[in-house]
Structure 1
Amino acid sequence: MRKIRDVLRLSAEGLSTRQMASSLAIGRTTLQGYLDRAHEAGLSWPLPAEMSDSELERHLYPRTAREAARRASQPDWSYVHLQLRRKGVTLSLLWEEYRAAHPDGYGYSRFCDLYSCWEGKLSPVMRQRHPAGERLFVDYAGATIDVIDPETGEVRAAQLFVATLGASNFTFAEATWTQTLPDWISSHVRAFSFFGGVTAQVVPDNLRAGVNKARFYDPELNRTCADLAAHYDTAVRQWA
């Protein structure tokens, strides 16, 4: 409220918005907003001596019908949560859908914050701790990425291999054309080279290229993956 009082005082002294913005170190848009609100509230400098900051705030920021309507147009968070499970659906798309139905609704950042708070109440989070050098988590990202040939303009879909150290979340990622066994093995080799070492365990998500049969504690590896693990003196474990 101190800034607003200063804006009203300097405006009464005849300073331009540019001069006031420079003097008070605030944006001209914000400054003009203060002046507009004061004008709408019928306030001018000098303010009544008995007017406290809380009273000034009530005059400048009354609970308008628009704000009441916004509170009444709460998003259906259960619907938002369900839609986010669909491929290609993002919070940005769902927010645009929400604002189309509620033009006076929440802005995008507030929409995201409120969803995060709602989602955080669904279930407790289990935090896992991994000793340094114990586990490397490997998998392909769910969506492919487009690779464009700079000469022909041809667009080709590529797979995204991701390997992340459990202790530090240090991550290696690369694009390959397929998820077949040769690409799967080669990506591991390049990941080990990138990290400069091999963890005690490598934890895949039962990718078909590397696992013949899924078992919780002891997945059955195909021969090539078993040879890779033996060569690098590591063990392959199921997600846990």
Structure 2
Amino acid sequence: MPIMVRKIKAKQILKRHSQSVSGRAIAGSLGISRSSVAETLGAAADAGVSYADIASKSDDEVCALLFPGRNEHASACRQPDWEAVHRELAKTGVTLRLLHAEYRDSCLSDGSPSMGCDRFCKLYQSYVVANGVTSRVERKAGSTIEVDWAGPTLEIVDPVTGESATAYLFVACLPFGRYAFVEPALDMGETTWLRCHVAMYEWLGGSTPRLVPDNLKTGVTAHPREGEIVPDERYRALADHYSAAVLPGRVKRPRDKASVENTVWHATMAVIGAMRNRTFRSCI
């Protein structure tokens, strides 16, 4: 089954061009290169296509019209029946991790290559977005933990030397009930990141099938637009220990972990804002 890779924003380019916007301005407004704009306008001219001809078409249809075959490549892995996956998730006790295990076993039985659990979860989310259906995962109780560092910090003053240090807030959230966990830390290094996760799991008294962090380097080594997400080796080991799949939010897409982003804001008010006039001697 072919899957889509990154596409030029052809429809938006043609729309702005029809409004007499310059190529430089189009590139700036869409956050793309001027060469992409020129390439799209050239392809449209060669095909004799204007914005009026494609106004009612989807972005994928426009890309396929101007650049036939470019935006697809054959996946080496057997693609699941996403419609069936979506139906199964509505059933009690069914999780993406369970469905991935069944998919993997099916691939093993017929000798087909299978994708990893992280990739499986990511492609399911792509299916949800592409088909305009409601995700079975986002609001299912006990399915996801979202984690992040808060931007604002606290000051810790050594009672002996008087020297100050910075304290950072690790924030976690269960999206279904917005149950939150906040842990102060003296750094944001990998060891501290992992230790905060252990403390979080101990506090919650369990784990979830999905763990949604940001794309920080202590958690994610690589997050390509296509292909397997590559979590940090130690982070993946920790997630495996707690039977969780690491599914980072997309780059510059805070809504992918909206619950923890909102919890960060509340934690900032409740901890940093409300206690701004207090002096702290330690993180304990």
TM-score, normalised by the number of residues in structure 2: 0.38
TM-score, normalised by the number of residues in structure 1: 0.44
Which has the larger Rg?
A: 1
